[in-house]
Every structure is written in structure tokens, then in C-alpha cells.
């Protein structure tokens, strides 16, 4: 397939200049940004219907992107690294001057986009440095871009940057040099070189989700002692995926398993941040149990473990984490623990609400960054109330999962021909 792709052109799109000359901006990074220093670039792609042949797609996208980058300016910047020789540390910040592993952001663009013309559509893919923004901010930028492209709308409110962190913290934060060295294991590996890993899309209809939510809540209510806990649709779906994968993984009962959940922290702080606040405000709390406990209990129990983990992210806990992290910065190396599952994206992201003027997307896909076993990406479905989940699993686990009647009772498998 690669031989069929022809590169037509490459270009650097710069943001529209401000008339007052205030193009140079320095954005300091907080622990919520810096923990992604060793994370691979996030890669996603949207597939759109084919535009009218009369439309100059590239020209339209470039001009609207330039306008969007003026508004969401951090994506147009570069990552600056400062070596502090006095204490053998390094500091990072983003500077908009147009003039960068996220460590690779020191030399590379923080946002890269690719437009591919298909026989019957247009694919727009992106790679973005996670130091700049989380998923909520990225999709907000995408929405701004599509609105400018489709309607030439030029009036947008100023970008709300994070207005809170911690009092008394000196910026930029100093990180030990040893924590800034990129790990060779974090590099994105083409899936073709990992034949034992396979990707698969699963679709949960609104009916599937309602059934799973009702089942999980009924099981939780039956064992709860007066505590009125409510399992969400998201928790029920993830619990179904988690318990089903473990059931088909042939693990010893005593083996420890982990489930890492991304969470938007903006509204969990006191006082809360604005929902539109740009940057990284995502936590990754982890539910931990054993394979035996998972197999001995039902859907409701698994969902309750996720529920408790999410509820643990309180204002006090988040501030305690930040205060301790600044004193002893540690950057995750991107490697996943054995039997660890990591969720990315969210069904709340307005993925299918983006329209450049040719129609809404018909599919969303991830790049090779979802190459490890246990990676789970969740998107809203194209139908109201539905969800789509892309997984990367060991081949033998996926084969058993696809033959599991209990699992398949509440999900549809998406074949490549159906996108």
C-alpha cells in the first residue's frame, strides 16, 4: 500500500501575525504537562467524504489553519530546553517565536498534519506533542479550525490558559537530567514489525451500553451497604472490556493487573478551572487488582473498581501530587507494566462534530502509537449514544476474545471494509 502513496507537497503553515507584534509568547509547563515528556506523539486521523472537485482543499485548509494557529497559538510554538549546569537539571517551556518526544519537540514541530486524498474521501491525520495539550484541548483546536474553514468565522474568544497551579513554585521547573533522557523503548514501532500484536475496532451501540450499565448498577446495588453508587456508561463499557480481556488472557490468579484511566481534572479542582482551559489537565489514576479477583467477580465489581479509582481524584489528592512532584520530579518512561491496560481518548470528545464544509467525518482511527498490548482508545460512535473502542492486543488473546460469546453479546466487531 505504501507504494501507492505519492507525496505531492510539504509546507510549514505559520499563524497569522498579530498587528501589535505580540507574536512571542512563553508558556511555562506544569507537572501535568511535564509527565508527558517521554510520551510518543499522539496520532489520530479523521476520514471525511470526498469534497466537491471544484473545492481547492489544500488552499482552504492552509489558510484556515493559519487563522486557527493564531487563536490556539501554543501548537505553533517550539519546545525550549534549558540546561542548568549548576545543579545538573534541565528545564522546559514552550515559546511561540516560529524561529520540538516529546523531547523531539526541541527540534520538531509540536503539531504535524497530513492530508491524504483517497479514492472516495479525504483523510486528515495529525501528530501532536502531548506536552502541549491533552485530548480535550486538541479537539477544541480541531473544532476551531473546522469552524474557520467552513464558515470563515474570524471572531473567537481569547484562548484561556491555565490560571492555576501552585503558589510559590519557581518556573521553569527543574528536572534531573536523568529524567529527561529519552528511552529507546518508547519509540513508535510499526505494527508490521510486531506480528504478535493486532488491532481491532469494537462498536458499542446505545442498546449495548444501556444493557451493560443496567447490569453493572444492579450488581453494585446488590452488594452495596447503603452507599448509593452509580456506575456510568463509560465505566460499564470499560469494565466489560477489562474483565473480558482478562478472562481470555490465561493469567495465573495471583498475577497483578492494572487499569490506567485518563481523567479531565479541570472540574475536580477547587475552585474549578474553566472547561475550555488549554493545556494538560489530565490525571491517570490506576485501578489495581489480581486476575483471580477479577475472574471471581462480575461486571459490577469490575466497574466499581474503576468508579472508586476515579472518585479518588479529589482536589486534595491532586494538589498533594503536584506539591510532591515538584520536590522530586519523575517522568514516566512510557513503558507499560505487565498486564497493564491504558485507556486513551474519551467518548466525550466532539470527534464527529468537525466539518470543514464537506460533511462530518465518517471514521476516526489511531496511528502506530497504539502498538503495545493493552492499549485501548475510546471514541464516541457515529450514532447517538454509541461508542467505538480500538484495541491493541496479543494475537492469541484477541483470537479468544473474538470467540467469547459472553463478550460478543454486548458488542459489535467492526470489519475493515465497514470502517
Q: What is the CA radius of gyration of the chain?
A: 22
Q: How far apart (Å, rounded) are the C-alpha atoms in residues 268 and 314? A: 6
Structural contact between residues 13 and 110, judged by C-beta atoms closer than 8 angstroms: no
Structural contact between residues 351 and 360, judged by C-beta atoms closer than 8 angstroms: no
From 130, 208, 240, 373, the catalytic residue: 130
Q: How far apart (Å, rounded) are the C-alpha atoms in residues 231 and 307? A: 7
Residue 7: which residues within 8 A CB-CB, separation 6 or more?
none
Chain centroid, CA 284 distance in Å: 11
**Cell 451493560, residue located:** 212
Q: How far apart (Å, rounded) are the C-alpha atoms in residues 210 and 231? A: 11
From 28, 258, 355, 404, the catalytic residue: 355
- Euclidean distance between the first and the last CA atom of the chain, given in angstroms as a whole number: 17
Q: How far apart (Å, rounded) are the C-alpha atoms in residues 129 and 102? A: 6
Structural contact between residues 13 and 65, judged by C-beta atoms closer than 8 angstroms: yes
**Residue 404 known to be catalytic:** no
- Minimal CA–CA distance to 213: which of 385, 39, 11? 385
Give the count of beta carbons closer than 10 Å to the beta carbon of residue 370. 24
Residue 284: which residues within 8 A CB-CB, separation 6 or more?
260, 261, 262, 263, 342
DSSP assignment letter at 184: G
Q: Just list the catalytic residues.
A: 130, 355
Amino acid at each position: 500500500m505504501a507504494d501507492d502513496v505519492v507525496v505531492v507537497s510539504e509546507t510549514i503553515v505559520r499563524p497569522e501575525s498579530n498587528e501589535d507584534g505580540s507574536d512571542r509568547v512563553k508558556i511555562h509547563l506544569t507537572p501535568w504537562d511535564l509527565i508527558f515528556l517521554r510520551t510518543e506523539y499522539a496520532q489520530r486521523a479523521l476520514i471525511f467524504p470526498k469534497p466537491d472537485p471544484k473545492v481547492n482543499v489544500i488552499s482552504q485548509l492552509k489558510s484556515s489553519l493559519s487563522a486557527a494557529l493564531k487563536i490556539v497559538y501554543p501548537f505553533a510554538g517550539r519546545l525550549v530546553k534549558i540546561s542548568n549546569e549548576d545543579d545538573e537539571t534541565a528545564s522546559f517551556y514552550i515559546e511561540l517565536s516560529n524561529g520540538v518526544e516529546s523531547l523531539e519537540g526541541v527540534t520538531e514541530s509540536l503539531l504535524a498534519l497530513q492530508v491524504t486524498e483517497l479514492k472516495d474521501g479525504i483523510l486528515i491525520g495529525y501528530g501532536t506533542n502531548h506536552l502541549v495539550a491533552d485530548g480535550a484541548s486538541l479537539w477544541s483546536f480541531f473544532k476551531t479550525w473546522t469552524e474557520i474553514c467552513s464558515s470563515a468565522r474570524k471572531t473567537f474568544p481569547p484562548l484561556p490558559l491555565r490560571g492555576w497551579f501552585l503558589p510559590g513554585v519557581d518556573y521553569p521547573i527543574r528536572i534531573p537530567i536523568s529524567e529527561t533522557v529519552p528511552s529507546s523503548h518508547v519509540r513508535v514501532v510499526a505494527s508490521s514489525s510486531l506480528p504478535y500484536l493486532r488491532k481491532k475496532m469494537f462498536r458499542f451501540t446505545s442498546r449495548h451500553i444501556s444493557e451493560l450499565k443496567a447490569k453493572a448498577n444492579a450488581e453494585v446495588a446488590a452488594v452495596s451497604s447503603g452507599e448509593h453508587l452509580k456506575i456510568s456508561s463509560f465505566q460499564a463499557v470499560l469494565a466489560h472490556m477489562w474483565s473480558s480481556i482478562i478472562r481470555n488472557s490465561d493469567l495465573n490468579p495471583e498475577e497483578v493487573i492494572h487499569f490506567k484511566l485518563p481523567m479531565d481534572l479541570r472540574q475536580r479542582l477547587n475552585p474549578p478551572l474553566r472547561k475550555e482551559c488549554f493545556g494538560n489537565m489530565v490525571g491517570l489514576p490506576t485501578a489495581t487488582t489480581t486476575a483471580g479477583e477479577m475472574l471471581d467477580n462480575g461486571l459490577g465489581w469490575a466497574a466499581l473498581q474503576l468508579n472508586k479509582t476515579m472518585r479518588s481524584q479529589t482536589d486534595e489528592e491532586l494538589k498533594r501530587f503536584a506539591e510532591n512532584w515538584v520536590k522530586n520530579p519523575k517522568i514516566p518512561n512510557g513503558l507499560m507494566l505487565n498486564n497493564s491496560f491504558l485507556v486513551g481518548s474519551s467518548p466525550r470528545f466532539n470527534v464527529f462534530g468537525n466539518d470543514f464544509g464537506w460533511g462530518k467525518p465518517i471514521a476516526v482511527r489511531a496511528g502506530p502509537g497504539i502498538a503495545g498490548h493493552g492499549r485501548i482508545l475510546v471514541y464516541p460512535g457515529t450514532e447517538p449514544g454509541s461508542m467505538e473502542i480500538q484495541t491493541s492486543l496479543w494475537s492469541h488473546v484477541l483470537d479468544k476474545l473474538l470467540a467469547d460469546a459472553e463478550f460478543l453479546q454486548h458488542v459489535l466487531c467492526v470489519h475493515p471494509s465497514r470502517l
